[in-house]
Amino acid sequence: MVRAILSTPHFRFIAVFPILTEAVKNKDYNLIAHLIETQDPYEIKRVKMPVMTSASSPNLVASDASSRMIGCVCEPVADAINWMELVKGDPVKCYCGHWFQLVSYEEYFRRVNCPSAF
């Protein structure tokens, strides 16, 4: 039996996908939300938090929804996740002392790209 193989890729079938950084530069927030959703549809990736957070400088959570459930692993050796519901508006404090705030994508990228403005 002889098997035929193809050693060169067919580039005509490869789709060109938009890059997240280009979407951020163009301020295309719908595309940003789509890219993030397709890369992590349930938004369950772990995020490393800063050492210190406060009510005036919370961990920002971007979402188009008006509320969102998040989980905080308060200690590296913790065997439980502390769940809390964030609602757009005021920051919320976790049991461990970290602060979280739900914001729109537009607000998130504005504050992340210009931290000195706050």
List, as residue ranges, the binding site. Answer: 72, 74, 94, 96
Number of structural domains in the chain: 1
List, as residue ranges, the binding site for Zn(2+). Answer: 72, 74, 94, 96
How many Cβ atoms from other residues are within 10 Å of residue 24's Cβ?
17
Task: Indicate whether 4 belongs to any domain.
Answer: no
Residue 100 and residue 93: Cα distance in Å, rounded?
6
Supply the CATH number for residue 56's domain: 2.60.11.10
Tens digits of residue pLDDT in 10-49: 444 444 445 666 777 788 888 777 777 666 655 666 667 7
Task: Indicate whether 27 belongs to any domain.
Answer: yes
- Give the per-residue pLDDT at 118: 42
